[in-house]
Structure 1
Amino acid sequence: MPELSVVVHGPDPQDRLTGLLDSLTAHPRPETEVVVAAVGDWARQAAERHAAVCLVVPLPDGTGAAAARSAGAARATGRWLHFVHAEDGLPVGTPRAVAEHTAALPDPDAVDVLLLDHVRSTWRTSALPSPDGPPLARAGRAPLPLDDRAYLLRTAPLLGTRVVRAAFWRAHERFLSAGDEPFAAYAALLLADRVAALPRPAYEDHRPRPESLPPVTAEQRYALVERYERLLDLARGRPAPYAVLYDLMVRDCLRTFVRAGMPEPVAREFFRRASLAAVRRRPEGHPRPAGPEGVRRSLLEEGAYGRYRAFQAANKARRTVRGTVRAGRRQAAARLRDHRYRRALTAPVEPRLAVFSAYWNRGVACNPAAIAARLGELAPDIHPVWVVNAADAALLPPGTDHVVPGTRRYGEVLARAKFLVNNVNFPNAVVKRPDAVHLQTHHGTPLKRMGLDQLPYPAASKGLDFQALLERVDKWDFSVSANSHSTRMWRRAYPSRWTSLDHGYPRNDVYYTAGAAEVRAVRERLGIAPGRRAVLYAPTHRDYEAAWRPRLDLAALADQLGEETVLLVRAHYFYDTGLSPLTGLRRTGRVIDVSAYDPVEDLCLAADALVTDYSSIMFDYANLDRPLVIHADDWEVYRETRGVYFDLMADAPGPVARTQAELTEILTTDAWRDDRAAKARAAFRRRFCEYDDGRAAERVVRRVFLGQDEPSLPPVLPLEDRTPAPSPEEIA
């Protein structure tokens, strides 16, 4: 019996089935079977081209989605069923990940539904993150009754994000097949004894252009109210799920009423039916929200169609007036700032003035900070001014001269500075004066695609104006590089006439200049007791996720690593509430949240080992020649949606774990630091620590600020002649 049956079903008028089956059958796996409920002759022919590795169930044209699902499920033999509509898709590696997860459940029969995250695609976008990530991460992976996680009903009602146990499906098939897909998606959760979550994108929801679909009939509009009434019947006697469904019903009815553009008679009848349902189904004592939303609900329950339309029109008029006033104020302020800036541009350039910024004006950090520090030693007559957001100004080191964007001095400083240093880019409006020098330091060695190389990856390039990007790049005079790989990739991603400074990353100098005292001091600041192993866990951002979510069960990992290991966890956040299972571990010092700690270089100095996924921190940490472990549970998805410059799985800096169990095995044995790991790390260091030797900042300052030529700069030390900062183990 296979672990998982992927049941592809439904009509395919836009020819997506071929690509879906190509991806599913390219690498068949024994634990996964593919069943195609092919609707119509064309779908049957497309499916039969893959008949060697999938089972084809031919169905006549006109077969509905529910009937197609049932026909496919009837032929499936897997313990779990994953229903995939023929017009949708699966991110690369999904069947393997789902099958491995279900197989690893302690008691598979204790879970009826496994809830997945997804990405969204439309006719003009691709693989955009869904908002379901945070609630799925909050749910964790342990199976629990829906009543304890009623908020999961707020996730998108897509049957493709519900992997159901086959026995559960067959027990409830008549009910689950008696409605449309959203009904089946909600009902699956309501009928399940226990649900679990797998918080990774494992489904791609394709939304066709609305104009390509048949017009929505009046009866289809009214069916929305009927769907929720049936679901509320199913949730009767369960207060938490019932209340969530009631709120969803009212929300969806009001949105449909306002946005659907229904003819007047249909709109009136829809409002009437929604009003009756809102009154009849409202839980006793259920509070209305405050503000305008509460007014909308009151009007709906009263059936006040005319007053609702008047309220709607008044709100629209009020928003228009407010928007016009705000826009006028913004335009006036922008014109004033632009006038001041343009006037400042007519003044001579200040040869001893340097402007620094890092990470979109977040503060003194990264390569710009290391350059500014060395500048103070080698050229103290050059005055540094930092651009910092108002909210971050209080966190600056004492005595730091700074300007806040939008202020009068901000424009004057940017207009008159001889040197402008940034690890991202200055705003588009900043003018490149002929006698000013723009230094781009970057903030990492690229594994993921950058710049123009993001064009083929919609999830990564969403919102990017590539023409504006190139105009910013054309202002660069110098680009700092840590290795020849970066130099080549920057040339490709940011094509322009800038000069590459193959001098190393200034922020990495500390990995060769710090001694035992500095390492010991950082560990003391972090509260790491002498003799304890510190593992830094620093995952990266995913473009296909709406928000960061923990990819590891850190509480379980900390338990398995034991009392003598401390986890330093650097991420945006873990849990929404103070009820985190990590709370107790934090109190004992076994997990330390260092997400807000700066600089990150201190964390690397304090750590005995680094665990990361695809973050550029791996290239910096490799300078320390300490153990590195890669946790790559979603490599295929990351590679396909973000794009990468090389195969990390083949050229990793140490052992690679694809699951938490594998990571635990690596960290609880000698695999994290054995001879094989050391050999992989040595090859990685030769390739990516090419120019980092502790004197990168000095070379940059001498070349850019003091105007020295390349031959006169300190040469880069060969790798074998460099001595990294001592490890905590060596200090002990």
Structure 2
Amino acid sequence: MPQLSVIVYGPNAQGHLTELLDSLEAHPLSDAEVIVAAVGEWAREAAEGHAPETVVVPLPEGTGDAAARSAGAARATGRWLHFVHAKDSLPAGAPRLIAERTAELDAADAHATAGAAGAAVDVLLLDHVATTWQTAATPSRDGRLLAAVGREGLTLDAAADLLRLTPLLGNRALRVGFWRAHEEQLTTDDEPQAAQAALLHAGRVACLNQVAYEHRELRPESLPPRAPEDRFALIERHETLLAPVKDRRAARAVLYDLMMRDLVRTFAGENLPDAVAREFFRRASLAAVRWRPENHERPAGVEGVRHALLEEGAYTKYRAFQAANRTRRAAKKAVRTRKKQVGAKLRDQQYHRALSRPVDPNLAVFDAYWERGVACNPAAIAAKLAELAPHIHQVWTVSKQNAALLPPGTDHVVPGTRRYWETLATAKYLTSNVNFPNAVVKRPDAIHLQTHHGTPLKRMGLDQMEHPAAAKGLDFAALLARIDKWDYSVSANSHSTRMWERAYPARYTSLDHGYPRNDVFYTSDAETVRAARARLGIAPGKTAVLYAPTHRDYEAGFTPRLDLAELTDRLGEDTVLLVRAHYFYGGAASPLSGLRRSGRIIDVSSYDPVEELCLAADALVTDYSSIMFDYANLDRPIVVYADDWETYRTTRGVYFDLMAEHPGQVARTQEELTEIFASGAWRDESAAKARAAFRRRFCEFDDGRAAERVVRRVFLGEPEDSLPPVIPIEERTPAPTPEEATA
């Protein structure tokens, strides 16, 4: 019998379950078992990746937390249970701390007076840290209270202030016999209620004044919205907890304080509809009077006034009191902000005047890479939109310096101009692969389509908070405000869908339709491939290798990672290197000068579209660039050159181990890279096998009809089930290779 059963339960919310199980696997404990009550397929898949050490209990999608906890506990064989939600985490060594402390309690209980009622400790309380979508591992306020109680087991009535601890099941471990005796009272989807009930039913409790849990609060805007009436459940929770302790003076006093605090905060802090607010206030007032302990003293100051008005049931007086406070605060804020608002900008005036006009249902705005021009997923969507819905007028946002590079006849607006803001204000559709400016208002009738511009290997969005070298002062509050405007988010594979939900937590609809820019990899023919190579100057019969490294956030500039002259020389006369980077050596003495003149190195750093480079190349060499996910659609060889993988993984953060899940061959030094090509390993059977697995995972929805699906779903409003289905990967035919195109 293990000392501790760690019961992980719930759905794989925003992908956090994998990290939790990885951390448990990294610090195994012989005296603990891990049981995963996995809700839904994604959680089951993540959990089964850690079997057989982990016991997996698969549960249907939608199973509630209480039912999941019970299902996991039913399989437990340990003496103590620790319930850990799948979205949360455990600090390194936490299970060992809990196991050792509970073993100590068991030993003490074994020496207790025989037959003493309630002698055993039933609940062990733990300290924790809190993580939100904006902060990481913030210490709780519970530590002082836990330290003040000490290590001896005692009854709750002797330390009723323990009820003030954050009400989580994760910051308490339960003796298995206690759980089974009180499972019915603890089985509720309301976790705070279950956590408090565990304390109220315990014979004795003990404390561990060390952090052994990490509670993660998901962004509310990424979760299904609650109905206003759901706030009534808060009153029911407190009354349910207060009922059994009517005669337990100390516990009742603490629970009453907690109830009043929660009721006042909810009423004051949430903008409830008037009818709901009145009913909430009425029920809260009744509860405040019904459960008020004898000789109870209200808090001093403003909080005491609020309590008095609530007990009195004086809804109108309370609202007047709130209004007076708001007026006072608003006056102070106005004084602070007036200095910043001297002289309203003409742009703002024009934009806000335009917002009063009706939304034009036949106007669509497109943007790519911060006004760079017609490119990427927006370009592919725009092309398909012109074909399927030519009545919708398209306007591109393009910087002044890039306007001259637009295809002839492209209607466009330059940022900052009057027409720019008027167009953004009145367009029905706003499509971008990055984000529109913060000042853009999301109108109820407008649709914002976020296409992204790659599959994430590196950490993105809110996940960058833990990697300051990557974030570099990123305004996360502004980021959240931007993503809240999204209606749709385009995805190329399930991995991206899940990581976008995690990195950009909001209520948009994920379009698992594929990346429109990758359609060309399935719709191009041999003539298209030959024409792309001809435009680049690649002579017939030559092997073209595209080298496309990514940017390093931890480097001030671009650092050459390869000696291109030596590499080109080793690859031989029949190989052409297409280099998409900005670090060519200058001067006549450069060894690259002759290679450039001979056509053996071609600078494609500014060449667009990048999809054409992919069609022209026989193989790709990259490091951590998302181009590998797109190029994999072509089913051509890919070599990863990862000379600084450990540094990149640590400083930038990654979502999976590319060294273990690569798309072909991996080189860690230039010598290894050269040998991969010299030996033919770049296109051998093992490389093809790795590439096939990579394609199945990351080219999941890319089949040549992604743009059509997006246009029909977003711009034409067609239902999901009427869209062209995704073609299975084994039935797709990529564009011919350069060798096939010249055969």
Aligned to 2:364: 354
Deviation of the 1:731 alpha carbon = 1.7
Count of residue pairs brought into register by the alignment = 404
Q: Which of 417, 425, 429 is the aligned partner of 1:407?
A: 417
Aligned to 1:100: none
Pick the structure with greater CA Rg.
Answer: 2
Q: Secondary structure at the match of 1:390?
A: coil
Distance of aligned partners of 1:602 and 1:549 in 2 relative to their CA distance in 1, 3 Å threshold? same
Please report the RMSD computed on the Cα atoms of aligned residues, expressed in angstroms: 1.4
2-structure distance, mates of 1:731, 1:456: 47
Task: Give yes or no for contact 2:585–2:592 (8 Å, CA) kept in 1.
Answer: no
2-structure distance, mates of 1:598, 1:547: 23
Distance of aligned partners of 1:367 and 1:353 in 2 relative to their CA distance in 1, 3 Å threshold? same
Aligned to 1:691: 701
Aligned to 2:505: 495
2-structure distance, mates of 1:687, 1:466: 30
Distance of aligned partners of 1:508 and 1:468 in 2 relative to their CA distance in 1, 3 Å threshold? same
Distance of aligned partners of 1:392 and 1:578 in 2 relative to their CA distance in 1, 3 Å threshold? farther
Within 5 Å, give how 1:424-503 maps onto structure 2. Answer: 424-503=434-513
1-structure distance, mates of 2:635, 2:576: 20
Deviation of the 1:548 alpha carbon = 1.4
Distance of aligned partners of 1:465 and 1:520 in 2 relative to their CA distance in 1, 3 Å threshold? same
2-structure distance, mates of 1:341, 1:445: 34
Task: Give yes or no for contact 1:452–1:466 (8 Å, CA) kept in 2.
Answer: yes
Distance of aligned partners of 1:363 and 1:578 in 2 relative to their CA distance in 1, 3 Å threshold? farther
The one-letter code of the counterpart of 1:370 is A
The one-letter code of the counterpart of 2:718 is Q
CA deviation vs aligned residue, 1:434-482 (integer Å, no higher than 9, x gap): 0000000000000000000000001001120001000000000000000
Aligned to 1:584: 594
Task: Give yes or no for contact 2:546–2:579 (8 Å, CA) kept in 1.
Answer: yes
1-structure distance, mates of 2:715, 2:621: 37
CA deviation vs aligned residue, 1:98-155 (integer Å, no higher than 9, x gap): xxxxxxxxxxxxxxxxxxxxxxxxxxxxxxxxxxxxxxxxxxxxxxxxxxxxxxxxxx
Deviation of the 1:331 alpha carbon = 8.8
Q: Given the alignment of the two structures, is residue 726 of structure 1 paired with residue 736 of structure 2, yes or no?
A: yes
Q: Which of 560, 563, 569 is the aligned partner of 1:559?
A: 569
Q: Which runs of 5+ in 2 are unaligned?
A: 1-25, 27-339
CA deviation vs aligned residue, 1:613-635 (integer Å, no higher than 9, x gap): 00000000000000000000000
2-structure distance, mates of 1:668, 1:686: 28
2-structure distance, mates of 1:411, 1:573: 37
Aligned to 1:711: 721
Deviation of the 1:580 alpha carbon = 2.8
1-structure distance, mates of 2:342, 2:670: 55
Aligned to 1:523: 533
Deviation of the 1:332 alpha carbon = 8.9
Deviation of the 1:549 alpha carbon = 2.2
The one-letter code of the counterpart of 1:450 is M
Deviation of the 1:575 alpha carbon = 2.8
Q: Secondary structure at the match of 1:656?
A: strand
Deviation of the 1:550 alpha carbon = 1.6
Q: Which of 394, 398, 406 is the aligned partner of 1:384?
A: 394
Task: Give yes or no for contact 1:375–1:701 (8 Å, CA) kept in 2.
Answer: yes
Task: Give yes or no for contact 1:693–1:722 (8 Å, CA) kept in 2.
Answer: yes
Deviation of the 1:577 alpha carbon = 4.6
State the identity as a percent. 78
Within 5 Å, give how 1:96-245 maps onto structure 2. Answer: none
Task: Give yes or no for contact 1:404–1:410 (8 Å, CA) kept in 2.
Answer: yes
Q: Secondary structure at the match of 2:402?
A: helix
Task: Give yes or no for contact 1:550–1:574 (8 Å, CA) kept in 2.
Answer: no
Task: Give yes or no for contact 1:509–1:695 (8 Å, CA) kept in 2.
Answer: yes
2-structure distance, mates of 1:425, 1:579: 43
Task: Give yes or no for contact 2:455–2:492 (8 Å, CA) kept in 1.
Answer: yes
Q: Secondary structure at the match of 1:420?
A: strand
Aligned to 2:193: none
Within 5 Å, give how 1:589-608 maps onto structure 2. Answer: 589-608=599-618
CA deviation vs aligned residue, 1:143-187 (integer Å, no higher than 9, x gap): xxxxxxxxxxxxxxxxxxxxxxxxxxxxxxxxxxxxxxxxxxxxx
Deviation of the 1:578 alpha carbon = 5.5
CA deviation vs aligned residue, 1:56-76 (integer Å, no higher than 9, x gap): xxxxxxxxxxxxxxxxxxxxx
1-structure distance, mates of 2:373, 2:492: 22
Q: Secondary structure at the match of 2:401?
A: helix
Q: Secondary structure at the match of 2:425?
A: helix
Q: Secondary structure at the match of 1:604?
A: helix
Aligned to 2:670: 660
1-structure distance, mates of 2:344, 2:588: 42
Within 5 Å, give how 1:69-80 maps onto structure 2. Answer: none
Task: Give yes or no for contact 1:549–1:574 (8 Å, CA) kept in 2.
Answer: no
2-structure distance, mates of 1:471, 1:483: 25
Aligned to 1:8: none
Distance of aligned partners of 1:459 and 1:577 in 2 relative to their CA distance in 1, 3 Å threshold? farther
2-structure distance, mates of 1:523, 1:579: 29
Deviation of the 1:334 alpha carbon = 7.0
Aligned to 2:105: none
Task: Give yes or no for contact 1:506–1:695 (8 Å, CA) kept in 2.
Answer: yes
Deviation of the 1:571 alpha carbon = 1.0
Distance of aligned partners of 1:659 and 1:411 in 2 relative to their CA distance in 1, 3 Å threshold? same
Moved more, 700-709 or 330-339: 330-339
1-structure distance, mates of 2:559, 2:423: 40
Aligned to 2:348: 338
Aligned to 1:681: 691
Q: Which of 395, 398, 417 is the aligned partner of 2:427?
A: 417
1-structure distance, mates of 2:371, 2:602: 27
Q: Which of 623, 636, 640 is the aligned partner of 1:630?
A: 640
Q: Secondary structure at the match of 1:700?
A: helix
The one-letter code of the counterpart of 1:348 is P
1-structure distance, mates of 2:521, 2:666: 24
Q: Which of 610, 613, 619 is the aligned partner of 1:609?
A: 619
CA deviation vs aligned residue, 1:178-235 (integer Å, no higher than 9, x gap): xxxxxxxxxxxxxxxxxxxxxxxxxxxxxxxxxxxxxxxxxxxxxxxxxxxxxxxxxx
The one-letter code of the counterpart of 2:643 is D
Deviation of the 1:689 alpha carbon = 0.3
Q: Secondary structure at the match of 1:454?
A: helix
Higher RCO, 1 or 2 (CA under 8 Å, sep at least 6)?
1
Distance of aligned partners of 1:333 and 1:701 in 2 relative to their CA distance in 1, 3 Å threshold? farther
1-structure distance, mates of 2:681, 2:555: 31
